[in-house]
Amino acid sequence: MRGRLVAGASLALIVLAATILILTGVVDAGNVGAAVRGVFSSSAGGRGGGLLSGPEAAHSWSEAERGIIASLSLDRLPPLPPDPSNAYGDSPDAAALGHALFFDSGLSPDGTVACSTCHQPQSYFSDGKALANVRDSDTPRHTPTIVGIAYSDWFYWDGRKDSQWAQALAPQEAAIEHGGTRTAHARYVLEKFGSQYEAVFGPAPDLSDRSRFPPDAAPVEDERRLAAWEGMTEADRGAINRVFANIGKSIAAYSRRILPGRSRFDDYAAAALVNDRKRMAELFSAEEAEGLRLFIGEGQCTDCHNGPLFTNGTFHNIGLPLPEGSRFDQGRSLGTLQVVEDVFNCLGEFSDAGEEACVELRFIKLEGEELIGAFKVPGLRSVAETAPYMHNGIFPDLEAVMRHYNHAPPAFPGHSDLVPLAFTEGQSEAVIAFLLTLSAPPDAPAEFLRPPANQE
């Protein structure tokens, strides 16, 4: 009761002081709102700094706010968890093979496309294009980064894969990506990397009989390739699938080790944790701190972009506009159906996980309006390096992203999970200034950030 009286009295004083400041023209009315909010958020936790002035004022946080900031820090990222579906995930030899394959355009029939064509190390493992594009044709989606992706439960914008190794198989056969087939890739890898392969995965099958193992066979749309695949015996298809799965497992052993590096924000979070305002003021400008305040506060960004990777790992429809001439993208509502059907999923015969380890897949949510047009919440570390933005690459820059969050139009079809923010231009700019503090080169063994020496 007494606390409330004191708070009431100080509110009266603040309002009085604010009125005087406005009347005397020291502050405009908009800024007073921010100042009053600042005072309240700092007193809410009980140990805030009250009315600070000078360069450190922007860095006055309540205890609750300091807790939220710390929860976003890389210091809170747990060690990379093992992937029970990939017994080779932490094998350095598997990673060395995967490293070679990631940069090897031999995994495409015309020798022009490798994983690194689209996931370019110098572009934070993205490609700078609105939509991924090879051989002059666009794919329907934007290339996301793969940095830190090993912490995800689901892969692709719609989560149609449930492991990194199963994901790595799909582009190899997608006509609009590598465009190859599993028999061709199994043969290519065993011919070129046979001893490396056997050192990791044990004896490889003999694929020399081309009547049993046709050069181009795969369960894909192309009729010739499909017929060749269906003409094989079940046992031979199994042998090919096993090699194909192992190719994915080695690529995953490599790519799972590419993690986000420590950014200026992480140093700020460490200073915030111990409430060292002097250090905070050295690390962040007042604008960057305001951006962080809006990000965790009024902007409600942390409803979805939370934890050390700035993603809650789930799927949301945020009512994005469609690129001209494109059709509505179902997103998660189709991705769920695809992942449960996938022979390479966690419960399938090529997975090394026991059923009990496949919790995400076993308890997957398959129905609900919220899945329609929903896409995976992307992490925001080094987001400045991965423009254009969103699954459909619709926004060229962060200004355009902020305009969307400010207006938040309703989604059609489906339901948008956003509420319009109506930030001022200055507030939007502050949020962007904060997002830029999340940039840092990936944390990975240096040799992993370029092709293996003999491949350059």
Please identify which residue in the block is written with the tokens 């969307």. 404
8 A C-beta contact, residue 337 and residue 344: no
232 near ligand HEC (CB under 6 A): no
59 near ligand HEC (CB under 6 A): no
Site string for ligand HEC, 105-134 (x = CB under 6 A): --------x-x-xxx------------x-x
Q: What are the C-alpha distances in Å from 284 to residues 167, 288, 382, 438? A: 38, 6, 16, 12
CB of 320 to ligand HEC, least distance (A): 5
CB of 404 to ligand HEC, least distance (A): 9
Exactly one of 85, 163, 167, 183 binds ligand HEC (CB under 6 A); that residue is 167
Exactly one of 184, 239, 304, 430 binds ligand HEC (CB under 6 A); that residue is 304
Exactly one of 185, 225, 293, 305 binds ligand HEC (CB under 6 A); that residue is 305
8 A C-beta contact, residue 155 and residue 164: yes
48 near ligand HEC (CB under 6 A): no
8 A C-beta contact, residue 159 and residue 165: no
Q: Please choose, out of 59-67, 214-222, 375-383, 445-453, the segment that lies near ligand HEC by the rule CB under 6 A.
A: 375-383
Nearer of residues 160 and 277 to ligand HEC, judged by Cβ: 160
390 near ligand HEC (CB under 6 A): yes
What is the Cα–Cα distance from 416 to 394, expressed in whole angstroms?
A: 16
444 near ligand HEC (CB under 6 A): no
Nearer of residues 141 and 237 to ligand HEC, judged by Cβ: 141
Please identify which residue in the block is written with the tokens 């709102």. 33
What is the Cα–Cα distance from 321 to 328, expressed in whole angstroms?
A: 10
155 near ligand HEC (CB under 6 A): yes
Task: State yes or no: cis peptide before 78, omega within 30 of 0.
Answer: no
8 A C-beta contact, residue 301 and residue 398: no
Strands (E), 144-285: none
Binders in 170-189 for ligand HEC, by CB under 6 A: 171-172, 177-178
CB of 5 to ligand HEC, least distance (A): 36
Q: At what angle do helices 286-296 and 63-71 cross, to 10 degrees?
A: 90
What is the Cα–Cα distance from 180 to 112, expressed in whole angstroms?
A: 11
Q: What are the C-alpha distances in Å from 91 to residues 249, 300, 349? A: 10, 40, 21
Helix/strand/coil percent split, the chain, to 5: 50, 5, 50
What is the Cα–Cα distance from 304 to 39, expressed in whole angstroms?
A: 26
Instruction: State the DSSP H helix or E strand holding residue 436, giving kind and residue range, or none if neither.
Output: helix 425-436
What is the Cα–Cα distance from 297 to 286, expressed in whole angstroms?
A: 16
Exactly one of 130, 377, 433, 438 binds ligand HEC (CB under 6 A); that residue is 377
Binders in 392-411 for ligand HEC, by CB under 6 A: 398, 401, 405
Site string for ligand HEC, 325-364 (x = CB under 6 A): ----------------------------------------
143 near ligand HEC (CB under 6 A): yes
Closest by CA position to 405, among listed 280, 320, 343, 283: 320
Binders in 13-42 for ligand HEC, by CB under 6 A: none
- At 359, the amino acid letter reads V
- 181 burial via Cβ count (<10 Å: 0-12, 13-18, 19+): buried
Exactly one of 32, 296, 320, 353 binds ligand HEC (CB under 6 A); that residue is 320
Q: Please choose, out of 54-62, 265-273, 300-308, 350-358, the segment that lies near ligand HEC by the rule CB under 6 A.
A: 300-308
CB of 37 to ligand HEC, least distance (A): 17
- Judged by CB under 6 A, how many residues of this single chain contact ligand HEC? 52
CB of 56 to ligand HEC, least distance (A): 25
The dihedral region occupied by 354, where left means phi > 0, alpha psi between -120 and 50, and beta the remainder, is beta
240 near ligand HEC (CB under 6 A): no
What is the Cα–Cα distance from 37 to 32, expressed in whole angstroms?
A: 8
Exactly one of 41, 105, 139, 196 binds ligand HEC (CB under 6 A); that residue is 139
Nearer of residues 58 and 401 to ligand HEC, judged by Cβ: 401
Phi, psi of 295 (to 5 degrees): -60, -45
Nearer of residues 48 and 295 to ligand HEC, judged by Cβ: 295
Q: What is the CA radius of gyration of the chain?
A: 26
In the complex, the residues that contact ligand HEC under the rule CB under 6 A are 113, 115, 117-119, 132, 134, 139, 141, 143-144, 146, 149, 152, 155-158, 164, 167-168, 171-172, 177-178, 251, 255, 295, 299-301, 303-305, 316, 318, 320, 375, 377-378, 380, 383, 386, 389-391, 398, 401, 405, 417-418, 431
